[in-house]
Structure 1
Amino acid sequence: MKFIDWIKYFFGFGKDTLYLDEGALVSQEIQLAIEAFAISTAVSLISNAISKCEFKTYVYGEEIKGDEYYLWNIEPNKNQNSSQFIQEFISKLLYENECLIIESNEQLIIADDFTQKEYAVVENIFKNVRRGDMTFDRTFKMSEVLYFKYSNDDVRKLLSNLLKGYNNLLNMAIGKYKRSGGRKGIMDIDSTATGDPKFQEKFDELMNTRFKKYFEAENAVLPLHKGFKYNEQNGEGNKKSTSEIVDIASITKEAFERVGQAFKIPPALLRGDIADIEKITDNFLTFCVDPITDMVGEETTRKRIGRKDFLKGCYIKVDTTCIKHIDIFSIAEKFDKLIASAGYSVDELRIKAGDTPLNAWWSKKHWITKNYQDVENLKGGESD
């Protein structure tokens, strides 16, 4: 290729014009997807919180760490640790409104897909249970699986229908923002141009191609055909204002609040606000996390323990106190009060604080100060 031909190719020579195209290389439309972002943020927050919980196993009323404890807290299967397993489990439950877990070769497996046939008075059955590229060639009864359903209504579908309106409003706000800073001008066309047999062809190319690239480019030159004259209008109307930015931020905030309400998450926590973080975290645990962990504890207990052993004090409990970070120096007085009132032993409180138990005879005992006495043992005065 000759140098002059390369120059023509690079700068976009036509038959009559020269155009410098710089914006075509860097211009890209970015579409904000607030629905996916808000729901993903909510699901990630909940699943990460529950993955920090400890699955406690009790046998005849006493906390025991055996095979069942190891399965839920360390290694549910050969390909996942407990944190990965719980995050996937809770995410699937929230995204799809249901989740199926089966046991195979003493491993807990989360099903990617399945078909459920429901009955009124007998057990439901599950067919076509698939994990990855493997489909189990058997039918599972309800008593043989762990089946979780988040809500009677599909929260994600309801949110999708609701947030479609917010997406439309957001697109309108983005369009308004673009128009507020748009470039406008006046095109003069004289008879010289309109008399050209190729006028319509040149006009369409100019308006649909060259002007589009010219306005999108950060820096560009726009040569015009003979008979065309363009005058840029640089008035106050093309200056961007902050009102459009506020509109976009308000719509996004409103969408996050609706998602927070749907998943029982305080909107401030979902947005990342840190004001009154302790109060909103307690609210999050009470109304969002606890109902899910209660459901998980009940389903695992009734399927893996059973009624007979449950009545003897055997059960599985999901401990949500592990979610909140504990600063032992800020709660030293509360620890002292819990020990002094015989509420907890020293070892129990050390475990809750993240320390290892001492396993001494005195650290396992429950102590009470002399300030706490039976009211019937008080003598004299008004107590008598």
Structure 2
Amino acid sequence: MGFWEWTKRFFGPDKDEIYVTQKAIEQSNKLNIERFGIVMAINFIANAVSKCEFKTFLNGKEVKGDEYYLWNIEPNLNESSTQFSQRLISNLLFYGEALVIDVNGQLLVADSFNQVEYAVVENYFTDVSVKTMNFSRTFKMSEVMYFRLNDTNIRTLLTDLVNGYEELNNMAEGKYKRSGGRKGIVHLNKPANGDKEFQKKVDDLFKNQFKEYFEAENAVIHLYSGMEYAEQQDTSAKKSTSEITDIQNITKEAFDRIAQAFRIPPSLLRGDIADIEKITDNFLSFCIDPLVTIIGEEATRKRYGKQAFINGSYIKVDTTCIRHIDIFNISEAFDKLIASGGYSIDDLRIKAGDTPLNTDWSKRHWITKNYQDVNTIEGGDK
């Protein structure tokens, strides 16, 4: 390929003057909005769920036994409950499904598996692997906890949606680079047809030497006969903030779509703190509660079963632990909850993140004299 053919391919046809800008430098390190946004959203949700308490009930009473310890402290020898729940939620959100197996009393989140599905008989799982361990056996549905979101693959839909924003962002990023890059014009006075040695020198000039010249703090460059280079006025000092604003706006729009797909209030994912209490309520109601309901139901039906559930045995995921509680801000509410008999002192101390007193009086339910039985009031009016 001759020099002029090379320049036409590289810079475009009909060029007797070439503007040497970032075009001479190979572009790389494009922002991956999709990957970054999805990972951020998933980590945000996973961290929130990991703060929840898995409450275990036996015959209608809350107990803290082996099952409670398994879900809240140590599900397996190599993970804490926080690490376990984060892996579980991350897999569930990223792949749309997650599998937990019980191996000798340890709960393990599978890294990969295959499921064979049936309509009216029990599904089973093959090729189950956890880290470096591959299980050759087949797991029946009744032997595992299988969590699944709806059939729509969120990640696939987001990929199609965010690709458009990715292209716009790349254009804005290129505009930003060009607005602050050094520019110059190379005048080509004569072609290099037939001179292969000169052609190699020119190729090296545009591909390598100009790149080093632009990147160096102080540098000179050697031009061959038939070439003239003119440095253009430095415009970096005049760079407008519009290019940065373009990138910020496109990224913000893409993040908003990702947040909506995961039912996260967009402002919460962006870190806005205005109306944080209302936003947090929205986050808990529409994002966290449906997820923990899936986990609680599957854990209950597989760890307890139908008859035990009927008798009042089940697992409930308490999301109230996600909120940060300032005891001075809610002191009046605490007083009202105790005075109405709704909670004991120890109940509220636990919810506030404090240790229970574990005394006879702190475990009791109290009620003020202002509260009376409605039948008593009706009887007094007769």
TM surpasses 0.5: yes
Name 2:376's counterpart in structure 1.
Answer: 377
- For the residues of structure 1 that align with 2:175 and 2:28, how far apart are their CA atoms? 15
Name 2:33's counterpart in structure 1.
Answer: 34
How far residue 369 of structure 1 moved from its aligned partner, in angstroms, is 1.2
Letter of the 2:166 counterpart: N
Task: Report the RMSD for the aligned CA atoms in angstroms.
Answer: 2.6
- For the residues of structure 2 that align with 1:82 and 1:104, how far apart are their CA atoms? 16
Q: Does the Cα contact within 8 Å between 2:184 and 2:232 map onto a contact in 1? A: yes
Name 1:122's counterpart in structure 2.
Answer: 121
1:180 matches 2:179: yes
How far residue 207 of structure 1 moved from its aligned partner, in angstroms, is 3.0
**Normalised TM-score (structure 2):** 0.87
Name 1:342's counterpart in structure 2.
Answer: 341
- For the residues of structure 1 that align with 2:264 and 2:144, how far apart are their CA atoms? 29
Q: Does the Cα contact within 8 Å between 1:146 and 1:299 map onto a contact in 2? A: yes
Q: Give structure 2 stretches of 5+ with no counterpart.
A: 1-25
Letter of the 2:262 counterpart: F
How far residue 179 of structure 1 moved from its aligned partner, in angstroms, is 2.2
**Normalised TM-score (structure 1):** 0.87
Q: Give structure 1 stretches of 5+ with no counterpart.
A: 1-26
Q: Does the Cα contact within 8 Å between 1:55 and 1:318 map onto a contact in 2? A: yes
How far residue 194 of structure 1 moved from its aligned partner, in angstroms, is 8.8
Name 2:103's counterpart in structure 1.
Answer: 104
Name 2:293's counterpart in structure 1.
Answer: 294
- For the residues of structure 1 that align with 2:60 and 2:251, how far apart are their CA atoms? 49
Q: Does the Cα contact within 8 Å between 1:348 and 1:357 map onto a contact in 2? A: yes
Structure 1 residues 363 and 228: alpha-carbon distance in aligned structure 2, compared to 1, 3 A threshold: same
Structure 1 residues 236 and 328: alpha-carbon distance in aligned structure 2, compared to 1, 3 A threshold: closer
- For the residues of structure 2 that align with 1:78 and 1:165, how far apart are their CA atoms? 44
Q: Does the Cα contact within 8 Å between 1:193 and 1:228 map onto a contact in 2? A: no
Task: Name the SS for the 2:99 alignment partner.
Answer: strand
Name 2:202's counterpart in structure 1.
Answer: 203
How far residue 158 of structure 1 moved from its aligned partner, in angstroms, is 1.3
Name 2:10's counterpart in structure 1.
Answer: none
Q: Does the Cα contact within 8 Å between 2:183 and 2:234 map onto a contact in 1? A: no
Q: Does the Cα contact within 8 Å between 1:111 and 1:129 map onto a contact in 2? A: yes
Matched residue count: 359
How far residue 236 of structure 1 moved from its aligned partner, in angstroms, is 6.3
- For the residues of structure 2 that align with 1:314 and 1:197, how far apart are their CA atoms? 85
- For the residues of structure 2 that align with 1:263 and 1:273, how far apart are their CA atoms? 17
Name 2:52's counterpart in structure 1.
Answer: 53
Name 1:168's counterpart in structure 2.
Answer: 167
Name 1:7's counterpart in structure 2.
Answer: none
How far residue 186 of structure 1 moved from its aligned partner, in angstroms, is 3.1
Structure 1 residues 293 and 195: alpha-carbon distance in aligned structure 2, compared to 1, 3 A threshold: closer
TM-superposition CA deviations, 1:281-311 (whole Å, max 9, x none): 1111111111111111100111111111111
Q: Does the Cα contact within 8 Å between 2:117 and 2:124 map onto a contact in 1? A: yes
Q: Does the Cα contact within 8 Å between 1:52 and 1:83 map onto a contact in 2? A: yes
Give me the identity figure in percent: 62
How far residue 374 of structure 1 moved from its aligned partner, in angstroms, is 2.8
- For the residues of structure 2 that align with 1:28 and 1:216, how far apart are their CA atoms? 14
1:262 matches 2:261: yes
